[in-house]
Amino acid sequence: MSTTVRYKNSVERVYTDGRDIDTEAGDLTGEAADQRASGSTDKHLKEQMQVWRQAPGPRTGDPAYYNVPMLNEPVWEWAIPTYYYVGGLTGAALVLGAASQMGDAGGRKELIRRCHWIGLIGAGISGGLLIYDLGVPSRFFNMLRVFRPTSVMNMGAWILTGAGGTAFLAVVLRGRENRFGAAGEIAGYLAGMFGAGLATYTGVLTANTAVPVWQASRRVLPILFGTSAMSSVGALFELLGGKGEERRLTKIFGTAGQIAEFAASVAMEKQASVVPRVGRPLKKGLSGFVWRAAMTLTAAGLVLGLIPKPTRRRRLAAGIAGTLGSALMRASVEHIGTASARDARASFQQQRAGYGAAEIARQPNQ
Amino acid sequence: MAASKGFFTDTTLCIGCKACEVACKQWNQLPDDGFLFSGMSYDNTVHLGGSTWRHVAFVERPVPLNTQTDGAFSWLFSSDVCKHCARAGCLESCPTGAIIRTEFGSVYVQPDVCNGCGYCIVSCPFGVINRREEDGRAWKCTLCYDRLRDDLVPACAKACPTESIQFGDLDELRAHAKERVEQLHERGMPEAYLYGASADDQPGTEGLNAFFLLVDKPEVYNLPPDPVAPAKKVKDAWLAAGAAAAGMALAAVGAVFFGGHRA
Amino acid sequence: MGTSFGRGGATTFPGDLVNSDVIVIEGSNMAECHPVAFRWVMQARERGATIIHVDPRFTRTSAVANLHVPIRAGSDIAFLGGIIRYIIENERYFKEYVVNYTNAPAIIGDDFKDTEDLDGVFSGWDKKKGKYETRTWMYKDVDPEPAGGTRESEAGEKGQPIQRNPIQAEHTDETLQHPRCVFQILKKHYSRYTPELVEETCGIPRYLFLKVAEALCRNSGRERTGAFVYAVGWTQHTVGVQYIRSAAIIQLLLGNMGRPGGGIMALRGHASIQGSTDIPTLYNLLPGYLPMPKAKHDKDLATYLRLNTSPSGWWGEFPKYMISMLKAWYGDAATKENDWRYDYLPTLTGDHSHMNTVVDMADGAVKGYFVMGENPAVGSMNGALQRKGLRQLDWLVVRDFQLIETAEFWRDAPEIARGDVKTKDIKTEVFFFPGAAHTEKDGSFTNTQRMLQWHHKAVEPRGDSRSELDFIFKLGQRLKELYANEYGQIRNWPIRDMTWDYPEIGPLKEPSAEAVLHEINGYTVADRKPVEGYSSLKDDGSTACGCWIYSGCYRGGKNMTARRKPYWEQNHLAPEWAWVWPHNRRILYNRASADPNGAPWSERKKLVWWDEQKQEWTGLDQPDFIVKRGPSHRPSKEARGKETISGVDPFIMQADGKGWIYVATGLQDGPLPTHYEPQESIAKNPLYGQQCNPERMEWIRKDNPYHQPYDDPRFPYLITTYRLTEHHTAGGMSRWLSWLSELQPEMFCEISPELAEERGLKNGEWATIRTMRGEIETRVLVTRRMQPLRIKGKLVHQIGLPYHWSTKGLVRGDAANDLIGFVADPNVSIQESKAFTGNIEPGRKSKGRRHATSGRLVKKLPSREQDRDLPKVGHKPESKHGYKAEQTKEGNI
Amino acid sequence: MSDHNGSSAPVWPVLRQFAKGDLFALDGSTAGSSRTESLASRTKTADRVVGSVCPYCAVGCGQLVYVKDEKIIDIEGDPASPVSNGCLCPKGAATFQLVTGSHRVSDVLYRRPHGTEWEKIPLEQAMDMVAERVKRTRDENWEDRDKDGNPLRRTMAIAHLGGATLDNEENYLIKKLFTNLGIVQVENQARI
């Protein structure tokens, strides 16, 4: 790769592959010899790093290291928040599907079928998004290489596999007039269980990190994600324009979700701001704006949906607002995390305030 | 299993020469991290990262060290490295099993397994492990796992001209470090302390296999004052997830119950 | 150091610093430039030693020292002189040592006048010649050999003619009270170097100065020792040699020489820089510090030997070394009848050192130039003048790893980028030969502690890469062939007769480096058996030896330099690791580690002592003394040569065996170090009317302009240059490596917050720095490590500039050396790059101009040259080169 | 899954977990790959280890050069050296890159007078050309005696710079050859 160095008095450009070893003369077999370096710079380092413009010297009382981020920020791009949305939608739909299987489900046949299909397609898209985001996509199946309960992502991989698998069986088998039909019925229920996990584990995944704002919000994030998943299902069915029982049912489910989501958002803001510096990304900057926008959209969806005598148009608007609100909420959580990771003082102040490891010591049951 | 090995980085012996950074790059054959002038004293690598596994911090302070007999200024150097925590965030979060605990007690990323999911990156409470965009995999200090297999000292510790980086059996290192702190206290450097030498010092990580002797607040060196392996707090989140899942199920059943047959 | 102790090499080795009780690092940034040697300083600190760093900047060395003393660049002699005064006034010197082992008791001739008497000039100034006539500096009633005494000292850099009569003081006063004794002269010379003056000159507060002086005094005597460490921070001044002399005086007064944890550690910057002076690629020396013949004096061998053989001291052996060298060079062609072909050697007529060569080059007098493993277009002063020289050549041969700036001066230089010079107008033919790395050739480096260490060839060089050994050997073979038909002319005989028959080995038919080492070591001519050491050498042509001081490195046919016995299997001197000259002695002058009676000064500091039983010197190190000569031995009056060395003369290379506090002969610019301001200073000399060293070398020419001597309104700041841990000198071995380049990726300057405020400079942004020679742009590091000094109530700002970068490599930037003018120390022709003046302003305002090619950069002001020298010192004529022509063209000889 | 264990352990680590009753799969013995299992330092595989000395500054730290298949695989400090005890500074630690780097040119290059580009020429030809130029310049600029008749026996038209980075043996041959050609302007970094 090449990089032009800001030196105007040279004729030649600079070329380097990062190591510049003549492999006829020297061997490249070290541990990281095959680490690819097509760009000269660690991208994240470059983005974060700004030339320090002051005379050095840590601030007394509240020191930091040239405001360099202490943590590494998430490397996830749009695919992961999208996955949060799609996965949540998938999971919540499967839960709804399973619930709909209960009792006399005759009138909800279409709803159940739709839920299972959403589960199957959603799981497929989810897998696709995850593969897309991996640094080394070809190694996607390594996710199932081990069963590691300490890793929320590993659990998530098994859950997603389970959800996708059972949704597939439910779609294929359910409703058949034989033993397979019964298996399909069971698969549907199992899918509901996996779905509940799928819709909420991503909140655990986010919470289980060193990113201060996420860690501080860990008791809310799964609820936020779960409730948001419910509202996405509600919003989606508004868009799909279901009728009758399906419509009533999803409306109740979605509205409950939206109300809860809004409440969870408010709770999260409060939780995260116990240490003010930690909560800052929720209130300030672009991340704060996105967060507010998501909340507003969710609220708008809720209000639009609650106005009596809905029109097709209004239902569409409510569906769009709800969908956007849900999706944007996931994106904003991602964004807030990035902003938080970039702020070394968020971690420092959080830990100094007793919300590092000290917090665990204060909880005797842990 | 061999005895646990680790680093004791005594920053009072560091001269900021960066031999550790280069020795590491040389042995592991890592690429450069870009030619960026940072303006941050003599630190132009800025932070540990996917291609920088040893990093020397340069802290210019308007206060002297107690061992300096004059002046109103001091310049601290500290060679940072992966801490190989007893409770390692990266290890616990790795979904593929790429990150493992080795027979030396160190934490190792298997580059042939890692799929680059990036979860370890946000799980490390020290901001150590990172991905390089073009490469896609997560990388960090291996404690020279390959060298340890052949009883060799890690490259950085071997190169360090002033024995600021000491390598050895963890038990011995800890004992030695304790003595060293006492010695420094006697010599009139009461500010010296150990960072992460044991679970008592740092319950959140249950102790670091690569620990440090510092003379100022950890934040000054860009180290967290009370880090915690995220998984230590994950129970709260799982409980919340359980509640959310239960709530969702309840809502679904409720919706079916209330919304179902009325029509 | 050569003039103080007898040899120019470091007197000790870094590992021995562990034994020091105090270490003063001055003129060196040891932790940054020699990190691994600094290992031992850190260990000493951990053992309780006090580490003091005296430096204009607070560096990585200061950061781990116990005490950092900020000093104005270029004022070290005032500081060290202050310490000398402190030692004397407070009677803190090691009296027994001083009386017995130094020339402090010697009585000086009545004609000698000190700088105190003559306002900054010693007696003997010859205004017409622009140099000193040093006769008056001599010991009383000792008649120095007239003008011709030309044997060079073993100065690590360029040696100096030392007049080698039996320079033993005729009169001494062991009570040190005689007003004309060295001790009293010294006392008077430094009487005004008070703490107040130090403060006013160096900007060092009184209490700080006293702390240093006290730490040194406290850690001397029988039980304790201190060491000085210096590097180019001392040598690169117009009074560089005298800086080192000041430290030598302190170390002699405190009795720190030749003892464990004592001595003066010179730290050198290149792998074999000591080797390249021992076996000199220096114009004025032949291998082993034998002087090159001077046209005027050394007309034949007999004269040459007479003028260079010392009647007293070790240099009485001189003819053996010289004749053995001629025998090694000319083999059978060298016979007693033809004076061993002494008449093959070219002769000198003046100073032919690098800077003179460059100006000659710029004036078109030099046609062909070989550059091997060096990058003068970046590493030398006044880069534009250097490159101007290169443009005037007919041909240039560059040997290096890659296309360095010197190889591409015709294509990639600031003046080309600017358009001042066009590539197609440059007539120079350039040959670039790729060099082999140290892993691709056998050979030895001599490190800073005089240790020869062999590196073995690991792999064959690739492509056309070849070692310099191979290049020179094959060039020699070709020239022998080319001249084969022209041996009728006498001038071609040296080519014919030069022995050049080294075995060719390996797939590339390279000459055997071991065979060359064999010749360097020396052998008996009859059977070509390696000699055991220089004591085996003869002056009858029966032995041949390429470099007598290295004799013994191939003893018994064994390559001693390749010895690698692990250090843990031997004592801390590691005598069986490689080989140290002379005679594998690790600490020089170690006879002084014992008292006059031969017993160690103390148990704690024992090193070498007299064994009554065996009647010989013994101990931990190889005695740097005549092993069988007891402490009570006194030479007879008739004794000559090494027989004159008494049992209490530890400095055996000196004519009188004593450490020279006062250098009666051998230095150009005075017997005692005297504070002079740098050529370009921010202050008037507070001590003397004479501003600068009157003997300094100047090159007054249009392409080498100087600023006003002090208070130049255009250039109010002091600039000093240095290097960083992360790069190597001019960068040829570091700027192309990504692992090093990323660590220090851009040229920068270091300034204090106060100067930043004054000039509106911001950290991380750009600055433009100007001198009359050129202008460069750099990034800015604002740091409290740069501390403005308060001198007479005025703030003095210093600007720090690393000099590693230039137009090529992975990381680039302007070259600091383009700012510096040619001006040099008279003793060793080393340039002054550690202190000069300049100006700084914010932003990228440099147009890349260089005075030598773009013309004047700043408004013209009167030169005020007269302020540099007293009227009686005179004014330097503008001559061809402009330097004191008399002095350097003829007079030095 | 790229794992392929030579041992009897199952290929899929999850099965290994079952076999061992390892619930968490954190340990290398469960989650390790075959590459990890056979990991070893590359210096172990060297054909030979060559004693050397750091080429940068004058401290003279000991180095060991590891060679395999006529390629250098590693250069690091020699622990036996009393000078350095196996340590190296950053420059010394980068020696591997210095000597095996692709920045090194391996062709002889020639720039003709007024030329704007380099030309590759064969080594032998270049050596002949340089020898011819030395001879011509020497012959044309010979100084036999000064104006007072003192012997000079030299040429001032050829000069040399360099030596402090070279070997003693090289300096010796440089000094010997050039002195005998009558070249006195032989200098090195000691002065710079």
Q: Are the beta carbons of B73 and C58 separated by less than 8 Å?
A: yes
* CATH architecture, domain A72-208: Up-down Bundle (1.20)
Class of domain D42-100: mainly beta
pLDDT (average), residues B184-190: 94
Helix axes A109-133, A179-207, angle to 10 degrees: 50
Enumerate residues 6+ apart whose C-beta is below 8 A from A249. Answer: A96, A100, A108, A111, B255, B256, B259, B260
- Measure the CA–CA gap between D188 and D165, rounded to whole angstroms: 9
The pLDDT value recorded for residue C40 is: 97
Q: Give per-residue pLDDT as tens, B108-159.
A: 999 999 999 999 999 999 999 999 888 999 999 999 999 999 999 999 999 9
Q: Are the beta carbons of C785 and B68 separated by less than 8 Å?
A: no
Confidence of residue C128 (pLDDT cuts 50, 70, 90): confident
The pLDDT value recorded for residue B261 is: 62
Q: Are the beta carbons of C417 and A5 separated by less than 8 Å?
A: no
Nearest to B35 among C38, C42, C810 (CB): C810
- Measure the CA–CA gap between C404 and C187, rounded to whole angstroms: 51
Q: Give per-residue pLDDT as tens, C599-639.
A: 999 999 999 999 999 999 999 999 999 999 999 999 988 88
- Measure the CA–CA gap between C866 and C859, rounded to whole angstroms: 20
Q: Give per-residue pLDDT as tens, D21-65.
A: 999 999 999 999 999 999 999 999 999 999 999 999 999 999 999
The pLDDT value recorded for residue C888 is: 40
Q: Are the beta carbons of B34 and C810 separated by less than 8 Å?
A: no
Q: Contacts of residue A25 in chain D, CB cutoff 8 Å? A: 71-72, 99-100, 104
The pLDDT value recorded for residue C641 is: 81
Q: Contacts of residue D33 in chain B, CB cutoff 8 Å? A: 110, 112-113
- Measure the CA–CA gap between C73 and C65, rounded to whole angstroms: 19
Domains of chain C: 354-438 (no CATH), 697-890 (2.40.40.20)
User: How many Å lie between the alpha carbon of C327 and the closest alpha carbon of chain D?
Assistant: 12
- Look up residue C424 and give its two tokens: 């197609």
- Measure the CA–CA gap between A264 and A227, rounded to whole angstroms: 8
Backbone angles phi, psi at D61, to 5 degrees: -65, 145
Q: Give per-residue pLDDT as tens, C53-64.
A: 999 999 999 999
Indicate whether C160 pLDDT > 70: no
Indicate whether C1 pLDDT > 80: no
Query: Which one is predicted more confidently, C154 or B36?
Result: B36
Percentage above 90 pLDDT, chain B: 89
Residues (pLDDT < 70) of chain A are: 1-13, 38-49, 364-366
Mutation target vs C (from A2, A5, A9; most C CBs, 10 A cutoff): A9
Nearest to A146 among B34, B97, B118 (CB): B97
Q: What is the residue-averaged pLDDT of chain C?
A: 92
Nearest to D33 among B112, B144, B159 (CB): B112
- The 3-state DSSP class for residue A185 equals helix
Nearest to A22 among D12, D73, D104 (CB): D104
The pLDDT value recorded for residue C148 is: 33
Q: Are the beta carbons of D31 and A145 separated by less than 8 Å?
A: yes
Are C631 and C598 spatial neighbours (Cβ–Cβ below 8 Å)? yes
Question: pTM for the whole thing?
Answer: 0.95
Q: Contacts of residue D13 in chain A, CB cutoff 8 Å? A: 145-146
Burial class of residue A13 in the structure, from the number of CB atoms within 10 Å of its CB (0-12 exposed, 13-18 middle, 19+ buried): exposed
Q: Does D76 touch chain B (CB under 8 A)?
A: yes
Confidence of residue C770 (pLDDT cuts 50, 70, 90): very high
The pLDDT value recorded for residue C883 is: 47
The pLDDT value recorded for residue C878 is: 52
The pLDDT value recorded for residue A365 is: 53
- Measure the CA–CA gap between C373 and C399, rounded to whole angstroms: 6
- Measure the CA–CA gap between D186 and C492, rounded to whole angstroms: 19
Indicate whether C875 pLDDT > 80: no
pLDDT (average), residues C468-485: 98
Lowest mean pLDDT among B7-21, C162-176, D14-28: C162-176
- Would you kindly state where each structural domain of chain A is located, as residue ranges? 72-208, 212-347
- Look up residue D163 and give its two tokens: 């030596």
- Would you kindly state where each structural domain of chain B is located, as residue ranges? 5-228, 229-263
Indicate whether C890 pLDDT > 50: no
Nearest to C60 among B15, B45, B73 (CB): B15
Q: Among B232, B229, B160, which residue's Cα sits nearest to residue B196?
A: B229
The pLDDT value recorded for residue A11 is: 57
pLDDT (average), residues D159-176: 96
Q: Which of the 8 DSSP states describes residue A353?
A: I
ipTM at complex level: 0.94
Q: Give per-residue pLDDT as tens, C793-842.
A: 899 999 999 999 999 999 889 999 999 999 988 888 888 889 999 999 99
Burial class of residue C417 in the structure, from the number of CB atoms within 10 Å of its CB (0-12 exposed, 13-18 middle, 19+ buried): middle
Question: Quick count: other Cβ atoms within 10 Å of Cβ C188?
Answer: 15
pLDDT (average), residues C757-773: 96
Q: Contacts of residue C475 in chain D, CB cutoff 8 Å? A: 127, 130-131, 134, 177
CA-nearest residue to A18 within chain C is C738
The pLDDT value recorded for residue A10 is: 57
Q: Which residues of A66-102 are buried (b: 16+ CB within 10 A; e: fewer)?
A: bbbbbbbbbbbeebbbbbbbbbbbbbbbbbbbbbbbe
Enumerate residues 6+ apart whose C-beta is below 8 A from A153. Answer: A143, A205, B93, B95, B117, B119
User: How many Å lie between the alpha carbon of D64 and the closest alpha carbon of chain C?
Assistant: 10
Class of domain B5-228: alpha beta
Q: Does B155 touch chain D (CB under 8 A)?
A: yes
Q: Give per-residue pLDDT as tens, C179-195.
A: 999 999 999 999 999 99
The pLDDT value recorded for residue C155 is: 29
Q: Give per-residue pLDDT as tens, C369-408.
A: 999 999 999 999 999 999 999 999 999 999 999 999 999 9
Q: Are the beta carbons of B134 and A38 separated by less than 8 Å?
A: yes
User: How many Å lie between the alpha carbon of B246 and the closest alpha carbon of chain D?
Assistant: 26
Are D128 and C478 spatial neighbours (Cβ–Cβ below 8 Å)? yes
The pLDDT value recorded for residue C597 is: 96
- Look up residue B206 and give its two tokens: 């249950």
- Measure the CA–CA gap between C347 and D151, rounded to whole angstroms: 7
Are B61 and A110 spatial neighbours (Cβ–Cβ below 8 Å)? no
User: Would residue A43 be called left, alpha or beta, if left means φ above 0 and alpha means ψ between -120 and 50 degrees?
Assistant: alpha
Mutation target vs C (from D47, D56, D57, D178; most C CBs, 10 A cutoff): D57
Place of tokens 């006399």: A104
- Would you kindly state where each structural domain of chain D is located, as residue ranges? 1-39, 42-100, 141-191
Q: What single letter denotes the amino acid at residue A35?
A: Q
The pLDDT value recorded for residue B133 is: 83
The pLDDT value recorded for residue C827 is: 84
CA-nearest residue to A24 within chain C is C462
Backbone angles phi, psi at D120, to 5 degrees: -80, 135
Q: Contacts of residue C811 in chain B, CB cutoff 8 Å? A: 35
Q: Contacts of residue C355 in chain D, CB cutoff 8 Å? A: 191
Q: Are the beta carbons of A10 and C764 separated by less than 8 Å?
A: no
pLDDT (average), residues C9-28: 94
Indicate whether C891 pLDDT > 80: no
Supply the DSSP string of C754-822, one letter for each residue. Answer: HHHHHHT--TTSEEEEE-SSBEEEEEEEE-TTB--EEETTEEE-EEEEE----SSSSS----GGGGPPP
Indicate whether B104 pLDDT > 80: yes
pLDDT (average), residues B19-30: 98
The pLDDT value recorded for residue C149 is: 38
CA-nearest residue to B63 within chain A is A57
pLDDT (average), residues C401-425: 94
The pLDDT value recorded for residue A40 is: 46
Enumerate residues 6+ apart whose C-beta is below 8 A from C637. Answer: none
